[in-house]
Structure 1
Amino acid sequence: MQPVIDYLPLLLQGLATTLKLAVSTVIVGLILGLLLALAKLSPRAWLSRPAFWVTNFLRGIPEFLVLLVIYFGGTQVLGQVFGDKAPNVSPFLAGLIALGVIFGAYASETFRAAFQSVPRGQIEAGRAYGFSAWQCFRYIQMPQIWRVAIPGLGNLWQGSVKDTALVSVVGLDDVMRKAQQAAQTTREPFTFYLVASLMFLIITLISMWLIAKAEKRASRGVAGAR
């Protein structure tokens, strides 16, 4: 127990990095996913087809491979373009890009299904009452979209939290790397990997509670609007 107490500040530093990466990934992924979903729903084939190709490709390859390509390949490309003055791709940036685009690829399907769940007649009725396109989106589509999308996005968030552990391989000082350092120093790998597992479990349980509350609130809001 004493080794855990001694290394707890180090583990908490790693946990903060893990949460920072996970939250940043979700922000990037939500924006990208929404844009890709809108592109997929576009009647213009030159916009919808590439969006489907990109997301199918990203969903078909491992996250770890995307991370390695961005971290090592990005550094190589920047070196060829800028030469000796090329900036290095940091582990955090590589993890953010890799996990963000993967999150966005999956979120695009969640958003697309949510958009399609809203009856077209409701939008047409809103326009008939004089609503602008933005007002229809804000007051008619968005409340229903979030109600449908929250469960899927919640699952993606929990997956992204766990996927942050992959980034420790390229040198990110997250909770997994800190646990590995403590395990190597104390020669107690079981203890520190167990502590890291409990930290991820706590994040997951808190996330499940918050997602459930968000689902109830979204459902209540839609029911009230009706």
Structure 2
Amino acid sequence: MTQPSFLDLIGSGPDGWGPALAAGALMTILIALAGYAIGMVFGALGAWAKIAGGPISRSVAGTYTTVLRGIPDLLVIYLFYFGGSTAISAVGHLFGASGFISFPGFLAGALAVGVTSGAQQTEVFRGAYKAVHSGELEAAIACGMSPFLRFSRIIAPLTLRYALPGMGNVWQIVLKESALVSITGVVELLRQSQIGAGSTGRPFDFYFIAAMIYLAISTLSGALLQFGEKRFTRGVRRG
């Protein structure tokens, strides 16, 4: 039997895995976006706690960033998936269910990626806020701006301007971390490549295709982030 060519593998014909790989790539993007958005929430809260919080909140935020940056991401995903499954199973047993009830793999992966990336984004946002010149904040107070107006017109835009490069780096990390979510049963790009490699006996071809897709996603998202960075730094002298 004739082996399908490389182009046949990435096509949509009888021997093609193109649609399946495209679906896996879409799942990868969705996991990364969900985890990144969750991480932004945790990062903003963590940065606020470290900047303006009291001793207890600063201690909690410091512990959060230290622990989550020190634990392997794969272990965090395991903890969310199996811990969530154990909790759901326990609740289910109270209502008469039996057996093991698994936690949704996508949700477990997105939460795990979000919590780990949030620890990194906490430091990104904190450093960006510290880069805002104190004179600009003092001028806003002198003009009589309310705290909300000060935040929406001064603090948030300037902090975002300084945070964008770091946020771009975190996004690239999150994109790679999304491959670890396959252990929860989610069929994302890497998992789909493993399925294709096992079904056809051509692992190099499928992993090479996956690498090229990851590179394409990374390059495109990097270009978008660079565009956003240039837009937010218009009129700012570059060193």
Q: Is 1:147 aligned with 2:157?
A: no
Moved more, 73-82 or 151-160: 73-82
Query: 3-state DSSP class of the match of 1:202?
Result: helix
Runs (5+) with no aligned partner, structure 2 = 1-5
Query: 3-state DSSP class of the match of 1:220?
Result: coil
| RMSD between superposed Cα atoms in Å | 1.5
The one of 9, 34, 38 equivalent to 1:24 is 34
CA–CA distance in structure 1, aligned partners of residues 101 and 129 of structure 2? 40
CA–CA distance in structure 2, aligned partners of residues 38 and 109 of structure 1? 11
Question: Post-superposition shift, 1:79?
Answer: 2.1
Q: How does 1:90-105 map to 2 (within 5 A)?
A: 90-105=104-119
CA–CA distance in structure 2, aligned partners of residues 211 and 178 of structure 1? 27
Relative to 1, partners in 2 of residues 1:43 and 1:164: Cα closer, same or farther, differing over 3 Å? Answer: closer
Q: Is 1:133 aligned with 2:147?
A: yes
Q: Deviations over 1:138-178 (max 9, x none)?
A: 21122211111001110110111111111112211101111
Q: Is the 8 A contact 2:74 2:180 kept in 1?
A: yes
Relative to 1, partners in 2 of residues 1:16 and 1:43: Cα closer, same or farther, differing over 3 Å? Answer: closer
Q: Is 1:188 aligned with 2:194?
A: no
Moved more, 210-219 or 92-101: 210-219
Q: How does 1:40-59 map to 2 (within 5 A)?
A: 40-59=50-69
Q: Is the 8 A contact 1:18 1:161 kept in 2?
A: yes
Question: Post-superposition shift, 1:60?
Answer: 0.5
Which residue pairs with 1:197 in the alignment? Answer: 211
Which residue pairs with 1:70 in the alignment? Answer: 80
Question: Post-superposition shift, 1:59?
Answer: 0.5
Question: Post-superposition shift, 1:120?
Answer: 2.4
CA–CA distance in structure 1, aligned partners of residues 209 and 70 of structure 2? 32
Which residue pairs with 1:10 in the alignment? Answer: 20
CA–CA distance in structure 2, aligned partners of residues 222 and 126 of structure 1? 19
Question: Post-superposition shift, 1:19?
Answer: 0.7
Q: Deviations over 1:107-156 (max 9, x none)?
A: 00000111111122321211211211111112112221111100111011
Which residue pairs with 1:171 in the alignment? Answer: 185
CA–CA distance in structure 2, aligned partners of residues 54 and 122 of structure 1? 30
CA–CA distance in structure 2, aligned partners of residues 52 and 172 of structure 1? 32
Instruction: Name which one, 1 or 2, has greater alpha-carbon Rg.
Output: 2
Report the count of equivalent residues. 223
Question: Post-superposition shift, 1:221?
Answer: 5.7
Query: 3-state DSSP class of the match of 2:52?
Result: coil
Runs (5+) with no aligned partner, structure 1 = none
Q: Is the 8 A contact 2:86 2:101 kept in 1?
A: no
CA–CA distance in structure 2, aligned partners of residues 115 and 3 of structure 1? 49
Question: Post-superposition shift, 1:222?
Answer: 5.4
Structure with a larger share of its residues in helix: 1
Which residue pairs with 2:3 in the alignment? Answer: none
Question: Post-superposition shift, 1:61?
Answer: 0.6
Instruction: Give the TM-score normalised by structure 2.
Output: 0.89
Which residue pairs with 2:231 in the alignment? Answer: 217
Give the aligned residue type for 2:31: L
Q: Is the 8 A contact 2:125 2:163 kept in 1?
A: yes
Query: 3-state DSSP class of the match of 2:199?
Result: helix
Query: 3-state DSSP class of the match of 1:150?
Result: helix
